[in-house]
Amino acid sequence: MNGMDRQGSGAWRGTARGLGTWLVAWAFAAACMGQTFEPPERTHDGFLVPRPGRRFEFPRDHGRHDGFKIEWWYVTGQVASADGREVGYQLTFFRNGGPMPPPGQGVGGAGGAAGGGLFAHAPLHLAHCALLDVKGGRFLHESRINREGWDAGAAQGTLKVWNGPWRLERTTPDSGGPETLLLRGGVRGEASMELRLVAEKPLVVFGTNGVSRKGRDPTASSHYLTFTRLRTEGEVRIGEVRLAVNGHSWMDHEFSSSQLEPGQSGWDWACVLLDDGTELMAYRMRRDDGTTDPFSTMAWVGADGVPRHSGPDRFRWEVEGHWTSGLTGARYPNRVRIKGPSRDGGGTMELRLEPLLDAQEVADPLGGVAYWEGACRVRDASGKVVGRAYLELAGYVGRLREKFR
């Protein structure tokens, strides 16, 4: 299939409504069969659109991508001290390149603002940091927002992003070896972390032919680059307590100019790190009427680091429980069961994601969004704990579509 990749195929939910979505997905796939997916070069407002066949070059493509409207570097992980004190964390750097400056003024940095005020067209940088203290039952988070050229930025040519004192930087030795990152963040004076992350697997490019489609609109897509398993060690401070910690992390880097299309309200996403050394990524794009969009996906990542995406009839995302925020009123489906093909494709699997704490909502007054981003344990069909996960539930409150179009 050229016109519709296997990742953009969807999930059915085992109901009449879900079956209808599944049939629509297959009908659309059949109609597109034999056609070449050729998105426009730019969006209606002048930003670049991800193109099939892009040749990624590293470390260059770890850095920022001028001309794309939306870009983020997202790291989550679960670590623990030698005595078993568990901590979950998130550190995300967002870069919004809009609005596009007038012709001849350039894009990408404060230099593009010539003739329009010092920061008139400088990208906006937003960052979120969150730490979950499992033992203390506390979820701490903070947001930062700055214009590029004022205490925030993203380098070209390598991975180096920062917002105030928070930073994520590639520190791989010149002599070679596995990709190595330095991460530093904190939540006001309450908590902080400094972690070293070392890739245990090759970088994964999700999607088909370098493009991860999020909707039928060909501009609703991204280039989606991921380190699925990063060995993590360092120090976490919670209050006056300093913990030497070890564990694993996951890092996404996406760049695009639209993540949602008309009719889509948000997404549910999960990254799963299993104890057997494999990983799973799954997301469902949600329609305004609550159904699952055909452009949803599940992918296994084996020892070779190659993603294997599911087809439209092969995985199900089922909600088993909710938590309602007392702050925003959002009702988040934060207990999830994912069913689908086993990693070798020869059978089926079932994984259940259970939050380590219900109250893991990131309510950001600076960026004007709220979403649930939580550390979870993972159980198999027998109830045995078989891994760890992070679950993201976006678009249940506020106007998310305006932020990602």
> For 64-111, how does the pLDDT look when each residue is reduced to its tens digit (9 = 90+)?
999 999 999 999 999 999 999 999 999 999 999 866 555 554 444 433
Give dist(CA 286, CA 264) in Å, integer: 6
Q: What percent of the chain has pLDDT over 70?
A: 83
Q: pTM value?
A: 0.87
Q: How confident is the model at residue 203 (pLDDT cuts 50, 70, 90)?
A: very high
Q: What pLDDT, on a 0 to 100 scale, did the predictor assign at position 404?
A: 63
Give dist(CA 276, CA 378) in Å, integer: 12
CB 272 within 8 A of CB 299: no
Q: What pLDDT, on a 0 to 100 scale, did the predictor assign at position 121?
A: 58
Task: Please give the residue that has the higher pLDDT: either 152 or 29.
Answer: 152
> For 367-390, how does the pLDDT look when each residue is reduced to its tens digit (9 = 90+)?
788 999 999 999 999 999 999 999
Q: How confident is the model at residue 14 (pLDDT cuts 50, 70, 90)?
A: very low
pLDDT at 6 over 80: no
Summarize the confidence of residues 124-141 as an average pLDDT: 97
CATH number for domain 1-38+260-405, candidates 3.40.50.1370, 3.20.20.70, 3.40.640.10, 2.40.370.10: 2.40.370.10
Task: Please give the residue that has the higher pLDDT: either 117 or 31.
Answer: 117
Q: How confident is the model at residue 25 (pLDDT cuts 50, 70, 90)?
A: very low
Mention every residue, 6+ apart, whose C-beta is less than 8 A from residue 400.
260, 265, 266, 369, 371, 394
**Strand, helix or coil at 194?**
strand
pLDDT at 114 over 60: no
Mention every residue, 6+ apart, whose C-beta is less than 8 A from residue 52.
37, 38, 39, 208, 209, 210, 211
Mean pLDDT across the chain: 86
Q: What pLDDT, on a 0 to 100 scale, did the predictor assign at position 311?
A: 61
CB 315 within 8 A of CB 341: yes
Residue 94: how many other CB atoms lie within 10 Å: 23
Q: How confident is the model at residue 35 (pLDDT cuts 50, 70, 90)?
A: very low
> Strand 221-238 to strand 204-206: parallel, antiparallel, or no bridges (unpaired)?
antiparallel
> For 299-357, how does the pLDDT look when each residue is reduced to its tens digit (9 = 90+)?
999 988 889 999 667 899 999 999 999 999 999 999 999 999 999 888 999 999 999 99
Q: Which residues pair with 298 in a beta bridge?
A: 282
Phi/psi for 32 (5° steps) reads: -90, -10
Closest by Cα among 132, 121, 114, 125 to 154: 125
May I ask the CATH architecture of the domain 44-258? Beta Barrel (2.40)
Summarize the confidence of residues 168-189 as an average pLDDT: 95
Where does the chain hold its CATH 2.40.370.10 domain(s)?
Answer: 1-38+260-405, 44-258
Q: How confident is the model at residue 245 (pLDDT cuts 50, 70, 90)?
A: very high
Q: What pLDDT, on a 0 to 100 scale, did the predictor assign at position 38?
A: 86
Q: Which of 52-56, 62-66, 107-111, 221-225 has the lowest mean pLDDT?
A: 107-111
